Structure 1
Amino acid sequence: MAINAGLASLSESLWTAATGTYMLAVVAYTGEYAFGKNGRIARTSTDRTAQASGVRQPALVGSSEATGGIADRLDGMADQPDLASQPRFGAGTVEPAGDAGRRWGRAAVGFTVLAALFHLASVAIRGIAVDRVPWGNMYEFTLVVGLMATVAWLATLVKMPQLRYLGLFVMMPVLLVMFLAGTLYTKASKLVPALQSYWLAIHVSSVAVAEGILLTSAAITTMYLVRARFERHAAAGTAPARFAALGSRLPAAAALDKAAYRTVAFAFPIYTAGVIFGAIWAEAAWGRYWGWDPKETWAFIAWVIYAMYLHARATAGWKGNRAAYINLLGFGAMTFNFFVVNIVISGLHSYAGLS
């Protein structure tokens, strides 16, 4: 089947629409972070004694039962502060929810969902245009990773809608991934013979899903490090410097640490399956399961680092900065494998589609 140039052009237009809508979502998340109630609660750091003294929590507003729709449901649940989870340093008062913050937050979720739909349509139509799975080169793979990161964030909002105001720190990396895809753009084309296998759909899709979720975990871990430094300064009674001051508006460090761990725990089996599927495909294509090709080697290094992270958390009880640095090291190895190995280092997996 010939390449459908019209559909390929439509896919590129949808990529542009998705990128523009992600930009609007980032602006809206910034608005909620700056003007929304949750950011102010984190900043004032209401301690648990306030709750014991009879501070009332605002009523749940905008619930799904009353208004329907994901944006309304998330808005209502996000407006209910979790006083028990606030750190115990500093005193403050719970400020009432501002209409501006709610509007920014609802708009942010709406833009995110709309951008995800544009994004999904761009990937799907690209696949139809080339009559194959749409992740046969770095441009397409990058699009899929960004889409998976967005889906992971929306899934996180469904489970923990109170984290909505942190969307700025998750969607900014997604927006950067979209711009990166543009720099890696490759014209719609058929696959090279080595990639014409059903294992492409199985192996690459599992790796893309895992890497998209791990991108979200890396963003949460970065927020944790900022918040943890802020809490150390607050406990010592010193003024936080530079980026640590941003931690005043973030959730408790312990909550972010737990969220990052759970995200990795969910993604790691998917990534493991992707590595195994790749080994099976290698045996079918090259007659061996493992040959220490650069791509295979760095995939294994990243797998080992994430395994170390989960093992240290589960057995040695590692939490905090030590675990966070291991998590970021794993993401760094995976990113190195994606960029440097694909673009710079030559090997059996050199199918970036950039030449």
Structure 2
Amino acid sequence: MILAADEGLADLSNMLIYSSMAVYALAFLAYTAEWIFGSRSKVARTAAALTREADGEAGAAVPAQAPAITVRKAGATSVLDRPRVVTRSSSPARDAVPDGPGAAGGDVQGDTYGRIAVSLTVLAFLMHLGGVATRALSVERGPWGNMYEFSTAFSMVVVGAFLGFLLAKKNVRWLGLPLVTTVLLDLGLAVTVLYTESAQLVPALDSIWMWIHVPLAIICGGLFYVGAISSVLFLFRDRYEAKIAAGGTARTLTASVMERLPSSVTLDKFAYRINAAVFPVWTFTIIAGAIWAENAWGRYWGWDPKEVWAFITWVAYACYLHARATVGWKGRKAAYLAIAGFVCFVINYYGVNIFFDSLHSYGGV
């Protein structure tokens, strides 16, 4: 028997999603204000300056616009003309790498905007979580049965991962602006183009694997997305560092943005650790999907477009990890592979569901 959806809970879910979008928009403005009015962490600048002094200032590349810094050490005062820019050729101590706005306490104005932005993100996430939960309650099933539900759950996981890193005392506030921007775009697409009325699922999806395979795919996609953002930001920061190391100068706006990001080394490691941790889970997700397919359709693998692109995504990330482990690929080559892997994931979701005839098209648009 197919149960009717609870329209009251479905309407509440929609209201909560729209409300979360409004608060995410306020958080976007606060993150933007942090990047415009905030400065690089004073603690990070001092640590970078001390590292420069310890290295004897050999081979240090500095931006022309950087201010002078006075550092007290062992009771003496040493005036350093410029803070050191940590580049790809450097091997800095972990504490010497600037970690973006608000990482270790910046100027009062910038840090205040950053704290407001994080607080608004938490509020928006709670509304977002409520919207996903009430959608599930309205139909008494998992809230990931169609593209609209998958999109709202996916963006919720992305924000949850970001807040989880912050809760674990990781200096990832630099992720806030690009992350909230793309979450707003994802939710905007979900409530306009992809919106589907709350309804029950087809019998093929009435399985325990619905609570295993699909949630794992959403979690993997959300974390792969965080890794992809880190890889994209790495490419910009790496190019900036290369230009400064070659003796070039950057425009004031470009330097202001780039100096708010962690070093390219930090971004590269951050992306790698996320992708390496998620890859085994993605492998199990594909295996779980094959088991579910055998239960529903009588075969483990049928080269359905969704299955093919899930496998292509797996191959892309496997190549990324293999290249790093065997031939020592780091930096730009590895970043391109990581971004390609996430592009394959996006094609698997949007492209296959919209443009291909697939057994997985029951979710609709």
Q: Rate the CA distance shift 1:239–1:198 in 2: closer, same or farther, 3 A.
A: same
Letter in 2 for 1:10: L
Letter in 2 for 1:103: T
User: How far apart, CA to CA, are the structure 2 residues paired with 1:40 and 1:226?
Assistant: 23
1:167 has 2:176 as partner: yes
1:85 has 2:101 as partner: no
Question: What does residue 157 of structure 1 align with?
Answer: 166
Higher helix content, 1 or 2 = 1
Question: What does residue 195 of structure 1 align with?
Answer: 205
User: How far apart, CA to CA, are the structure 1 residues paired with 2:252 and 2:239?
Assistant: 11
Question: What does residue 71 of structure 2 align with?
Answer: 55
Question: What does residue 34 of structure 1 align with?
Answer: 36
Residues 188-220 of structure 1 deviation map (CA, whole Å, 9 limit, x = unaligned): 011122222221111100000100111111111
User: How far apart, CA to CA, are the structure 2 residues paired with 1:97 and 1:196?
Assistant: 52
Residues 311-331 of structure 1 deviation map (CA, whole Å, 9 limit, x = unaligned): 222222211000000000000
User: How far apart, CA to CA, are the structure 1 residues paired with 2:107 and 2:53?
Assistant: 21
Q: Per the alignment, in what secondary structure is the counterpart of residue 351 of structure 1?
A: helix
Question: What does residue 9 of structure 1 align with?
Answer: 11
Identity %: 46
User: How far apart, CA to CA, are the structure 2 residues paired with 1:177 and 1:141?
Assistant: 11
Question: What does residue 235 of structure 2 align with?
Answer: 225
User: How far apart, CA to CA, are the structure 2 residues paired with 1:330 and 1:242?
Assistant: 33
- Determine which structure has more spread, i.e. the larger CA radius of gyration: 2
Using the TM superposition, give the Cα deviation of residue 241 of structure 1 relative to its aligned residue in structure 2, in angstroms. 7.3
Question: What does residue 348 of structure 1 align with?
Answer: 359
Q: Rate the CA distance shift 1:163–1:37 in 2: closer, same or farther, 3 A.
A: farther
Kindly indicate whether the alpha-carbon contact (under 8 Å) linking 1:33 and 1:39 is maintained by their aligned counterparts in 2: no
User: How far apart, CA to CA, are the structure 1 residues paired with 2:188 and 2:72?
Assistant: 45
Using the TM superposition, give the Cα deviation of residue 166 of structure 1 relative to its aligned residue in structure 2, in angstroms. 3.7
Q: Rate the CA distance shift 1:166–1:283 in 2: closer, same or farther, 3 A.
A: closer
1:141 has 2:147 as partner: no
Q: Rate the CA distance shift 1:51–1:108 in 2: closer, same or farther, 3 A.
A: farther
Using the TM superposition, give the Cα deviation of residue 51 of structure 1 relative to its aligned residue in structure 2, in angstroms. 6.8
Question: What does residue 59 of structure 2 align with?
Answer: none
Within-5 A mapping of 1:289-300: 289-300=300-311
Q: Rate the CA distance shift 1:149–1:83 in 2: closer, same or farther, 3 A.
A: same
User: How far apart, CA to CA, are the structure 1 residues paired with 2:345 and 2:254?
Assistant: 27
User: How far apart, CA to CA, are the structure 1 residues paired with 2:141 and 2:105?
Assistant: 52
117-126 or 191-200: which moved more? Answer: 191-200
Q: Which runs of 4+ in 1 moved over 4 A?
A: 39-47, 50-54, 240-245
TM-score (norm: length of structure 2): 0.82
Kindly indicate whether the alpha-carbon contact (under 8 Å) linking 1:105 and 1:165 is maintained by their aligned counterparts in 2: no
Q: Rate the CA distance shift 1:261–1:275 in 2: closer, same or farther, 3 A.
A: same
> How many residue pairs are counted as aligned between the two chains?
324
Question: What does residue 88 of structure 2 align with?
Answer: none
Letter in 2 for 1:55: V
264-273 or 317-326: which moved more? Answer: 264-273
Within-5 A mapping of 1:111-126: 111-126=120-135
Within-5 A mapping of 1:317-328: 317-328=328-339
Q: Rate the CA distance shift 1:240–1:40 in 2: closer, same or farther, 3 A.
A: farther
Using the TM superposition, give the Cα deviation of residue 242 of structure 1 relative to its aligned residue in structure 2, in angstroms. 11
Question: What does residue 63 of structure 1 align with?
Answer: none
Kindly indicate whether the alpha-carbon contact (under 8 Å) linking 2:230 and 2:270 is maintained by their aligned counterparts in 1: yes
User: How far apart, CA to CA, are the structure 2 residues paired with 1:38 and 1:4?
Assistant: 50
Question: What does residue 131 of structure 1 align with?
Answer: 140
Using the TM superposition, give the Cα deviation of residue 152 of structure 1 relative to its aligned residue in structure 2, in angstroms. 1.1
Question: What does residue 184 of structure 1 align with?
Answer: 194
TM-score (norm: length of structure 1): 0.84
User: How far apart, CA to CA, are the structure 1 residues paired with 2:182 and 2:278?
Assistant: 18
Question: What does residue 90 of structure 1 align with?
Answer: none
Q: Rate the CA distance shift 1:343–1:41 in 2: closer, same or farther, 3 A.
A: farther
